[in-house]
Structure 1
């Protein structure tokens, strides 16, 4: 039996397009938006048998299209010891000790979100500091940016890291003056050792729980589509189990397969061919309504906080790290991926890394020719040169950025390690907008809080969601509420080739819609903080209801 048409009325409806006025109602029929506009027009389009729901003046928008996330990592992080609000090493140690005491049977202690700000100028993360809290089982702590791992001595042993273990390409096992591993793993060393160890330690049931955690957490905060940025074999197997069980996902996911720099072009090209094969197999078996392997992810550099980002000029300490992907390997790999129809998602935090990213895209155009459906994207763009922004506009490249990464409460170390004018020119969303560069905003969870309203608050104020006593980080960058919401909805939908069906409340679009408990268009902006979805619809069906 076909469900009746439902009219949602007495609302303030943002349709996804910042240039359009708010509407007062919309109708849903058979999982899609039937109409949006004034109540008379919507009733006329819906027929006399439609049921009506009074939203009592609530603010409504398209469901948030999370522009950059790591679903299984987020779901796992929600189970870990939370460290983002720790201000000292002693506080981290105390939380780990308490976690160990609370679960003495646990084979591991895992934590997430520690900040570099907890260390004094002459300190770095060491295994000894963690051994003082938990010496008997492995401890693995993800940095807030997920680009490094802090581990104890038991974890070094469990991961098989010895003094002779070589550094992987693009990473470092930090060692002391005697050549001994200190317990700090940077970039691909964290991926190759810490991530691989955790993957081997988790069961299929664990991963199924992680995925469920992520879906549930996101639906509560208004997310109805996710852009996955670290997809791999374990993720694929987990999604397959969910699709085989339910025939669908709680909401659509667009996945980018994570490529690891190998230092060998033949190996890189084989990996890209395998991703293309997997993409086609998944599409043939499941379609692309719920899971779509959209493209590949290149991590071109590290992060500013750890001084591993690729910069045109040195950091304040004089260091100037090489990129993780050198041009001689990055350009042919990009061309091969582009030729296979795989979208490029290019992690580039430093201004030199974003230069390499644009070189890769320009090489794809030169070799493979112009193509309207290419839609390449650069991720993060924390420190970016004006000439790169101009190139992005000319090449039609999307800027994928995360307001939560410039919450003023976590910028002290970021600014200090840059140490010059670059400390005040980061995260220039307004420059991208002025240049006509498409903007897709997300959270990069779990490297930052996943809650969409807090992320929107930072985007429209440049203030801190974590410490309200902090001043804004360059208020001139703030977006209007309409601009911010478009960049959270239609922007990421465009970036993943879903803008024909997602990111808008318009006739024919999938009815992925959120009714909010706060209104960014009226009242104080800080009313967004800690707010959530009152009602989340996915294909017209209730996926989350605060009332329940």
Structure 2
């Protein structure tokens, strides 16, 4: 099958010039055979074949499909059915939103919410703050997914253990009774599995299908899915076999600290065994790329491991792993050919992660650190030398999202937040992702935040977050496609519109002057997404 996509303005993703003097993509089966102009000899020869289907794109812009460098696809799909508390700025707002949702869902057995911001309530969340709203269990995800807020009915049915799980916190009163807030490993090992078990397999499959469709409409054809479990993998595999997974997925299996070396090793070996069957060579559309290790928490909940005591608590938080236990797991994964992805937000956790990866002495593995929200200058400089990918999510540097940071960590440490410019200047590969559902899935928000460091919610506001660390537009576009593709060894398949690569591209309406009017990024509209030379989403008829 041959297709000629013509009458387009092409952004190839390979040049500092945004638009190239090109208008056509010649596609054979699922591969780009040639890119150029209609009058080129190669295009004329291509058109001599009888089976060429010509697609007129009406002068629209096309660019490489986006590669989301960090997403939680199943959680994103599940979040679509939860009630959004992101606009609630106070406890009264939250209580009112819950009452309205409860009234509109009289038959729901539980009330599920998400995107609660810790800054909206005074102090730590407690079940008492939710009293009198509804007798049904209420579960509220924090916007960063690292905390869960429960009412008394939810605590009762969770049947929580009397001790904290490894890497987690169950907040308790002076008598040892849970107070309603669970953090970090307690969310991952207790709340998520409990709620997942309440959903049928069919419901979970539908959530993934919906997430994939939304991602296609947003312009993605490839994602790197973090914190995958065996149950989730089986769902992805079922959709893949059925031909319903319209995204390429590179999965990282979650490895949790347990305090037991053999149990931790077994988690890595499980991922390694799957990787032997599902890797880039044998199964490029759905594969196990590596493991994910969570080294610390998040700043908003005061669980990120930072180098200074939190100003509100006076406490210094340590990483969830010791250097010895982390090194033991990294060595097993690296020896199995797995990529290691380390969640590290605080600067102490980043140092731990860089030290651990440096000790492996295998720079070609393309190991990666996720988030890197606070970094020491010396660690930023080590990334490129060690071949470590900086996997970042610019929507998290939105100044609207980080109002708590200066009073929590101090203004001096805040000046080290989201140092993307340093990472790139030090030679690190930069991969941009969304971290959905903790942040919006649209790529344009990321591009706006990365290049302006202003809030996408009020794009003409002048307030910025460490503007000196911003990226150029071409750099941000590259990190959103080629950088993320390179991070998972897929740069020869996707990430740019080069001959020999898969024909993955998007068609845009409403392209403004991105360089001189960055706010115009937020008005871009994807009207077509092509995967392997065929549209998986189109408004063009």
Partner of 1:142: 141
- Residue 146 to residue 520, structure 1, CA distance change in 2 (3 Å): farther
Partner of 1:512: 504
- Counterpart among 425, 437, 448 of residue 428 in structure 2: 437
Once structures 1 and 2 are overlaid, which stretch shifts more, 68-77 or 23-32? 23-32
* TM superposition shift of 1:181: 1.0
Partner of 1:75: 77
Contact 1:72 1:214 in 2 (8 A): yes
Matched, 1:298 2:289: no
Matched, 1:527 2:520: yes
**Match runs of 1:64-463 below 5 Å:** 64-120=66-122, 123-134=123-134, 136-161=135-160, 165-246=162-243, 249-282=245-278, 287-317=282-312, 318-365=314-361, 370=362, 372=364, 374-463=365-454
* TM superposition shift of 1:282: 4.0
What is the distance in 1 between the residues matched to 2:212 and 2:172? 39
Contact 1:335 1:363 in 2 (8 A): no
What is the distance in 2 between the residues matched to 1:79 and 1:45? 51
Contact 1:264 1:329 in 2 (8 A): no
Contact 2:7 2:60 in 1 (8 A): no
Partner of 2:29: 30
What is the distance in 2 between the residues matched to 1:250 and 1:343? 24
- Residue 322 to residue 336, structure 1, CA distance change in 2 (3 Å): same
- Residue 166 to residue 273, structure 1, CA distance change in 2 (3 Å): same
- Residue 184 to residue 203, structure 1, CA distance change in 2 (3 Å): same
Note the alpha carbon deviations across 1:25-49, whole angstroms, 9 max, x for none. 2222211112123333362462334
Q: What is the CA RMSD across the aligned residues, in angstroms?
A: 1.9
Note the alpha carbon deviations across 1:440-495, whole angstroms, 9 max, x for none. 00110001111111221111211111234462223222222211110000000000
- Counterpart among 529, 533, 546 of residue 539 in structure 2: 546
Contact 1:311 1:351 in 2 (8 A): yes
What is the distance in 2 between the residues matched to 1:265 and 1:66? 32
- Residue 45 to residue 126, structure 1, CA distance change in 2 (3 Å): farther
Contact 1:220 1:532 in 2 (8 A): no
What is the distance in 1 between the residues matched to 2:112 and 2:255? 25
Partner of 1:46: 46
Give the TM-score of the pair, scaled to structure 1: 0.93
What is the distance in 2 between the residues matched to 1:503 and 1:407? 25
- Counterpart among 9, 13, 16 of residue 13 in structure 2: 16
Give the TM-score of the pair, scaled to structure 2: 0.94
* TM superposition shift of 1:61: 1.1
What is the distance in 1 between the residues matched to 2:98 and 2:119? 18
Gaps of 5+ in 2: none
Partner of 2:4: 6
